[in-house]
Amino acid sequence: MIAYDVNTVQSVAGKVVIVTGGGTGIGKIYSQRLAQAGARVVLADIAGEAAEAVALGIREAGGEAIAIRTDVIDAAAVQTMVDQTIAKWGRVDGLINNASLMSVLERGDWFKIDPDEWDRVMAVNLKGIFLCCRAVYPHMKAQGGGRIVNISSSRIWAGNPNRLHYTTSKAGVIGLTRALAREVGDDKIGVNAITPGFTESETQMASSSANYVAGRDLSRSFKRPQYPDDLVGAVMFLLSDASAFITGQTINVDGGQAMH
């Protein structure tokens, strides 16, 4: 039998969590809410100034956070980010692979996608996850476990068109999650994913027309907009010990639009 203290297993207090893309968009909300819940947060973001501003706000509110400018497709930069995390707090308990190339991508026909843009999307959305997982792995293994949460997209369930490279990359995240979960299970490292629906984050709304946003809620069971905070509970659950026997899984968080 495993001793179960609900106040302990559902908590992220004291955990060291890296959030890639943690200074902007949905990642900013992850960082802020994790810090409010007592986690020590590393905001790893290519937008270094934005990440530092969020980290400063967290610290001023009494939380613990550092910002490290990180390009997730640069293996050396990712390794430096993890090394600085270890130097600061001595461990890595959680990794949220949230950094993604999406909002700057135009919606359009698949055959008009530039091959270089295709490669860039795959690099950020898939290679970036691989590099971050690889960098934290030795530390999680040595400390006896950890939790990795990969952010995919609910687009994969419906096969949404007009950003074929983005949808394809997010489908790849699920394959990576499942295979990696089997590879690191013996090291007590859990690897799971979530698939957010269309979320009204600052970056998403900046790249979406009013016509595109209109009517997005009607196909959901919960007919209202989805906000970044709607994703926080699932992420925290997967980072906490409450999900200690869950790995290789995908939780869909889209208000009941797609069901699987």
Q: Is the pLDDT at 213 greater than 60, yes or no?
A: no
β-bridge pairing 40-45 and 146-151: unpaired
- How far is it, in rounded angstroms, from Cα 82 to Cα 78? 6
Evaluate whether residue 88 is within a structural domain: yes
In terms of C-beta density within 10 A (0-12 exposed, 13-18 middle, 19 or more buried), how is residue 152 classed?
A: buried
Position 205 scores a pLDDT of 47
Q: What percent of the chain has pLDDT over 90?
A: 84
Evaluate whether residue 227 is within a structural domain: yes
Q: How many domains does the chain have?
A: 1
Q: Is the pLDDT at 137 greater than 60, yes or no?
A: yes
Q: The whole model's pTM is what? A: 0.93
Evaluate whether residue 111 is within a structural domain: yes
Among candidate residues 240, 152, 164, the one with its CA nearest the CA of residue 197: 152
Q: What are the pLDDT digits (tens) for 167-176?
A: 999 999 999 9
| Domain housing 53 | 12-253
Angle between helices 164-184 and 115-122 (to 10 degrees): 30
Q: Is the pLDDT at 113 greater than 50, yes or no?
A: yes
The dihedral region occupied by 185, where left means phi > 0, alpha psi between -120 and 50, and beta the remainder, is: alpha
pLDDT band for 87, please (50, 70, 90 cuts): very high
What is the side-by-side strand order in the sheet with 146-151? 64-69, 40-45, 16-20, 94-97, 146-151, 189-196, 250-253
SS3 42: strand
**Measured torsion, CA atoms of residues 248, 176, 30, 202, in degrees rounded to the nearest 10:** -130
SS3 242: helix
Evaluate whether residue 43 is within a structural domain: yes
pLDDT band for 180, please (50, 70, 90 cuts): very high
In terms of C-beta density within 10 A (0-12 exposed, 13-18 middle, 19 or more buried), how is residue 43 classed?
A: buried
Position 260 scores a pLDDT of 79
Evaluate whether residue 3 is within a structural domain: no
Q: Of these residues, 4, 30, 166, 212, which one is catalytic? A: 166
Q: Examine the residue annotation and report whether 4 is marked as an active-site residue of this protein.
A: no
Position 215 scores a pLDDT of 64
Evaluate whether residue 259 is within a structural domain: no
